[in-house]
Chain A
Amino acid sequence: MTTLFGIFLLTLLMITGMAIVHTRNLFVAVMLMGIASLLIAASFFLLDAADVALTEAAIGAGISTVLFLGALALTSERERKRRRSLSTSSLLQFGIVGVVALIVIWATFDQPRLGSPSAPVQAHLTPWYIESTRDLIDIPNAVTAVLASFRGYDTLGEVVVVFTAGVGVLFLLGTGASSRAAGAPLSEDNAGLRHYLIPRILGRLLIPFILLLGFYVQFHGEYGPGGGFQAGAIIAASVILYALLEGEQRALSVIPQGVLLAMMAGGTLLFGAVGVAGIVLGSNFLDYSVLSEDPVNGQHWGILLIEMGIGITVAGVLISIFHAFAARATA
């Protein structure tokens, strides 16, 4: 029965995807992307991936829409109309896409069926991870254990990629500090959604709860779905909500750009430092067992610290990216 639910959701997703590509109005495309993100999160949940669904919820529902709308506000909202004739190049495009689609569908016939217990994924690695999480790390959430401990190198790489992307956006768009210093102070009219009284009051009411939820997800990540990536995104979303309500200047005066840069670098450094601490205490890079007398307790400490590093970096990067886009809009 749940398989049928999944099929229904995925069919809706396919329709949404086609509508996204078909429409010429980019604003509509972004709205439909919001729906697609909700459908994807629901599908993740049906496929037993609660952590991934939480990540998609934190990222797709808020931050992704905000970024795309910011880019649309600064460019144009519509695709330019092109003459509709079946030229050779458009035939070629349809041909290539069709052929590749057929190849991919053909390749799926070798895939193990959905949920098959004899699939290679389930063969030896999954039981090993589940067993070892119980024995070596002793936390309920195997995803957090794999993310932070067994595949710590991998996660360090991902955090560095997020950090690098954030630095890249700041290089491309600037931190906005120079234009703000030179330009006139923003008029009242230009500062957030001040005229919408009800949303503004309610938004201010909700921001503390979102922040609280962010911290809960951060520190509860070992026991339930959650962890640093999700918590960073949720905290960034609360700051972005504040910036939307009160104007970007206010948000920047609460968390200045310097602090954001320190968060971006500091979180990544914290992750690396925990790894180096493992070497200093006489074991391997990112081996947390030596952080405490008791190896299991050491693992707990290591996971807690690096999840904090991840959360700080992700929150810093996402808020910085938002400010970089917003500063361009008000300049």
Chain B
Amino acid sequence: MDILGLYHYWIFAVLLMTGFFAIVAKPNLVKKLIGLSLFQSAVFLCYITMGKIEGGTAPIMGEGAELFSSPLPQVLILTAIVVSISTTALGLGLVLRIKDEYGSIEEDEIQGQDQP
């Protein structure tokens, strides 16, 4: 059971690093943003996993429910998801402006144009 209990966190570590790899290694700016959303998703899942309690249920009181998982991480992540889509939109807006100015969304080409 020990191994199964940690498996969730390992998946998050792998997912986190998959997103991180896209941010570091891919020159395409949209791909970087996609990697960033993967990275964020991994963090969200990590938080929610911490709040889970064995045999509990969602913190919405109803008949037959006694033990509840923690509402606090859920609140933090709930707002973070909406914030993340807004900031991703802001990032995409920046990418569109960069495309206007430089005619490219590949990082190395943009840097090449900046260095005469």
Q: A55 is contacted by which of B41, B59, B78 (Cβ under 8 Å)?
A: B78
Q: Which of A139-147, A184-192, A208-216, A295-303 contacts B (4 or more CB under 8 A)?
A: A139-147
CA distance A29 to B18 in the complex (A): 13
How many of chain A's residues have a CB under 8 angstroms from any CB in B? 104
**Chain A contacts of B28 at CB under 8 A?**
26, 79-80
Contact A165 B90 (CB under 8 A): yes
* Chain B residues within CB distance 8 Å of chain A: 1-2, 4-11, 13-22, 24-28, 30-31, 34-35, 37-38, 41, 44-45, 48-62, 68-83, 85-90, 92-97, 99, 105-106
- The answer to whether A14 touches B14 (Cβ under 8 A) is yes
Question: 1/0 per residue A228-269: CB within 8 Å of B?
Answer: 010011000000000000000000000000000000000000
Q: Is A304 an interface residue (CB 8 A)?
A: no
Contacts of A180 in B (CB 8 A): none
In terms of DSSP, what is the predominant structure of the interface of chain B? helix
Is A51 a contact of B74 with CB atoms below 8 Å?
yes
Could you tell me if B17 and A130 are in contact, using CB atoms closer than 8 angstroms? no
User: Contacts A50-B58, A51-B78, A143-B59 hold; do A104 and B70 have CB atoms under 8 A apart?
Assistant: no
List the 5 shortest-distance A-B pairs measured between CB atoms, nearest first: A113-B5, A115-B54, A165-B86, A108-B9, A142-B59
**Residues of B close to A314: CB separation below 8 A:** 82
Binds B, one of A5-13, A198-206, A278-286: A5-13
Closest to B81 in A: A55
Shortest A73–chain B CB gap in Å is 10
A13/B54 in contact, CB under 8 A: no
Whole-angstrom distance from the CB of B96 to the nearest CB of chain A?
Answer: 6
For the complex, give the distance between the alpha carbons of A142 and B7 in Å.
28
Name A97-126 residues within 8 Å CB distance of B. 97-98, 100-101, 104-105, 108-109, 111-117, 119, 121-122, 125-126
Determine if B21 and A21 form an interchain contact, defined as CB atoms under 8 angstroms apart: yes
Q: Which residue of A lies closest to B7 (CB)?
A: A7
Choose from B50, B72, B83 the contact partner of A119 (Cβ within 8 Å).
B50
Do the beta carbons of B48 and A114 come within 8 Å of each other?
Answer: no
Whether A143 contacts B83 by the Cβ 8 Å rule is: no
Please, how many angstroms separate the alpha-carbon atoms of A78 and B54 in the complex? 45
